[in-house]
Amino acid sequence: MLRVGVLVSGGGTNLQAIFDAIDSGKIRGAKVEVVISNNSGAFALERARQKRVEAHCLSPKSFPDREAFNQALLEMVDSFQLDLIVLAGFLVTIPAAMIRKYRNRIINIHPSLIPSFCGVGYYGLKVHEAALARGVKITGATVHFVDEGVDSGPILLQKAVEVKEGDTPQVLQRRVMEEAEWVILPKAIDMIANGEIPLGM
């Protein structure tokens, strides 16, 4: 059984997609052991509690400096003996020590077709605003391994989504979540749990 930890900053719609996929059998052989958020008000923590999954808040603001927060985050992750760490809208830079320790065992979902609209400053609605401003006809989402860069690790899965006439950033964001993010993030976890994507390579 693949032991999964999910790190999330907000509402946790991708977390919910993971829970739903486990319940429906789309994710086989994996279990969410813990949900960790940097935001005490994140609805993702409530989603975890509803599923009787351990939920913890670790905010950088609660620590004297970023180094202390990074150490606490790594210690918490270590304590659950996780096989896979999933970043599902986690707006905190992952400590370098964690990336080294969990090399190719941390995955992220990004709401564009990397290498488009990714890197520093591209998160949340900003990604969709940029896609609309550029006038692209196709956007989508990407699941990738996390490395020391921003959205720069090896790509695992991508799914394209059509940009439609009259889209607002909010409308496009919702379509990308529904048609791409909630599809490929659970699929990647299932493939990892069942040996189709090797970990720690």
110 is catalytic: yes
Phi and psi at 103, nearest 5°, equal: -55, 125
Report d(CA 195, CA 108) in Å as an integer: 18
Bridge-partner residues for 60, per DSSP? none
Rg for the chain, CA atoms, rounded: 16
Taking a C-beta distance cutoff of 8 angstroms, is the pair 158, 194 a contact?
no
Name the active-site residue from 56, 110, 128, 144: 110
Q: What is the DSSP letter of 84?
A: E
Handedness of CA 145, 118, 128, 40 (dihedral sign): positive
Task: Give catalytic residues, as residue numbers.
Answer: 110
